[in-house]
Amino acid sequence: MIATHARRMGRDKTITDPQHYLQVLERKPGALRNGLPFQKLPRAITLVQEHLQAKAGGDKAFVEVLLAARDHGMDILETACAMALEQKTVTVTVILNLVHRLAHPLPPSPQQTPEALHLKEEPTADCSRYDTLRGKPYVH
């Protein structure tokens, strides 16, 4: 199976999903320039594409960015691209880092315990209490 998607009814419509073409891009990054699926990308991703392709090796750099959508989805990639543009740090490394951080957020930081929940008496480690449950004292 190459791809699955909902059936779309109607005539004379061309429906393309960039995710279906990512594997081709790995081998042929030049397909970005004229490929129909890559002409209708979300705005933030298109701006990143323009920024990266203005430099030497931009096609390959942008393919690296697009490949992140294969594992994490286009929505996360779009958010990461928007964040990179907002921070004015549009590089492959930064965008991939943002994608990873969005896909795998850190656990929340520990919260301070309210004073009302603090113990007034610290428990003591006293194993002899368990001897009473057994019915006879434990001898070392």
pLDDT in tens, 91-136: 999 999 999 999 999 888 888 888 888 888 888 888 777 777 777 6
Would residue 135 count as lying in a domain? Answer: no
Please report the pLDDT score of residue 137 as a whole number.
Answer: 58
- Domain range for 74 is 18-106
Would residue 25 count as lying in a domain? Answer: yes
How far apart, in whole angstroms, are the C-alpha atoms of residue 1 and residue 56? 36
Query: How many structural domains is the chain composed of?
Result: 1
Sign of the alpha-carbon dihedral angle for 91, 96, 97, 103: positive
Please report the pLDDT score of residue 42 as a whole number.
Answer: 86
Q: Is the CB of residue 59 less than 8 Å from the CB of residue 39?
A: no
How far apart, in whole angstroms, are the C-alpha atoms of residue 140 and residue 127? 12
pLDDT in tens, 16-72: 666 666 666 677 666 666 666 667 788 999 999 899 988 888 888 888 898 898 889
Q: Is the CB of residue 69 less than 8 Å from the CB of residue 17?
A: no
Q: How confident is the model at residue 83 (pLDDT cuts 50, 70, 90)?
A: very high
Would residue 59 count as lying in a domain? Answer: yes
Alpha-carbon distances of 20 from 56, 66, 74, rounded to whole Å: 26, 12, 12
User: Residue length, the chain?
Assistant: 140
Sign of the alpha-carbon dihedral angle for 77, 81, 87, 88: positive
Q: How confident is the model at residue 87 (pLDDT cuts 50, 70, 90)?
A: very high
The H or E element spanning position 101 is helix 92-103
- State yes or no: pLDDT of 3 exceeds 70: no
Mean pLDDT taken over the chain: 81
Would residue 64 count as lying in a domain? Answer: yes
Would residue 6 count as lying in a domain? Answer: no
Would residue 8 count as lying in a domain? Answer: no
